[in-house]
Amino acid sequence: MSQIDPLTVSVASADALPPLAMQVTDLGLGLGTIDYIADTITLDDRAAGLFELPANMPIPRKTLHAQIHPDDVQDVECLVEQMLSPQLPNFVDVVHRIKTADDSERWVSARKRVTFGPKDAAGYSAPVSGIVGIMDMTPHKKAERQVQDLMRETNHRLKNLLTVVQSIARMTARSCDVSEFMPRFDARLRALSHNQDLLVLRGHESLVLGDLVREQLRPFSGDANAAITISGPDLPLRFAAIQPIGLALHELATNAAKYGALSVPDGTLAINWTIQNGKFTLSWTESGGPVVVPPQRTGFGSTVLQAMTRSALEAEVTLRYDPEGVHWSVVCDASIIRENTAHQ
């Protein structure tokens, strides 16, 4: 017996198909038959189109074999060899890729069944003919890959978020008394929660910086506050930039509400961001509040505003405790901040 091609997915001529088979093709299946004696395959129009081969005429099985993706041949060969053994089930289901002229990815699912001839004197029965139904699985594979990519991204983001929470817990514990730990820790977790709410509400859309700024200031500014000015272009944020910027804004707003410009009626706050020559600049400037006294020790807030922001955004960070008001600014490469909306 000659070597059996691993993907002998052959189909009879559409004109020769019985009525039931014609109904099957209407369901999106390509059909085919194989002649193991002549070592040929005949594909109907749909199956031939998937394999980019001639339709409704016998072709050598090795021609079909050449269309199988090299990475899939070995696995398919194993399954087909099992099908061609009289001692095992005479059908097999295979899913594999096809090489295409334009190098695009194409997946098919094939359900194959073989018919054996009469046994010879030694009791051996050879394969004589076969039939196969073929379905284009490319859209399903693409959808499956999107789900897998989403799960990996979700897992990655969750791990990052847990790392941030652990860092917040450790640094909060180091910078305050036990009695103050839970209120401060809860407040910082709420800041993270605000960021997550914005991401969920946006769905597949990017979160813009202006919305992040307003969300972090909302608990401190009320429904409207003329003392706060926010200005800057629409800027969709990369996911990796949202948490460090959001946490920094929360710390600045918390301190401003306790000790700075947002703690008095006449205080003012200006938040501005720009992108020029590929550089992103974000600034926070307070004025009109109580005279600023620099902190005597470095706590969690200072760590977030300087070390964490500098590391996460690869940025130059400035934090000044000027007598007239706190000034904080970040300068970094715009590509670290800005989402590439061309791929959205």
Render pLDDT for 217-276 as a digit per residue (tens, 0 to 9): 877 765 444 589 999 999 999 888 888 898 888 888 888 888 899 888 889 999 999 999
Low-confidence ranges of the chain (pLDDT < 70): 1-27, 150, 153-164, 167-168, 170-172, 174-176, 188, 191-192, 194-205, 221-226, 297-301, 341-344
Sign of CA dihedral 70, 71, 74, 79: negative
Q: Residue 230 is encoded by which pair of tokens?
A: 């926010």
Residue 3: the pLDDT is 43
User: Does residue 176 sit in the same domain as residue 268?
Assistant: yes
Residue 115 counted as domain residue: yes
| Degrees, nearest 5: CA angle 204-208-214 | 125
Number of domains in the chain: 2
User: Does residue 127 sit in the same domain as residue 154?
Assistant: no
Cα 117 from chain centre: 51
Residue 7 counted as domain residue: no
Residue at a domain's end among 136, 166, 193? 136
Residue 32 counted as domain residue: yes
171: nearest Cα among 191, 160, 185, 192:
185
DSSP state of 305: I
Sign of CA dihedral 33, 35, 36, 42: negative
Beta bridge pairs of residue 93: 111
User: Does residue 122 sit in the same domain as residue 166?
Assistant: no
What crossing angle do the helices spanning 178-202 and 239-258 adopt, rounded to 10°?
Answer: 130
User: Does residue 278 sit in the same domain as residue 324?
Assistant: yes
Residue at a domain's end among 75, 107, 136? 136
Residue 330: the pLDDT is 95
Residue 274 counted as domain residue: yes
Q: Residue 336 is encoded by which pair of tokens?
A: 């670290």
Beta bridge pairs of residue 319: 328
Residue 173 counted as domain residue: yes
User: Does residue 243 sit in the same domain as residue 288?
Assistant: yes
User: Does residue 169 sit in the same domain as residue 49?
Assistant: no
> How far are the Cα atoms of 64, 217, 323 from residue 293, in angstroms, in the given order?
80, 23, 7
User: Does residue 55 sit in the same domain as residue 100?
Assistant: yes
* Domain enclosing residue 108, as ranges: 14-136
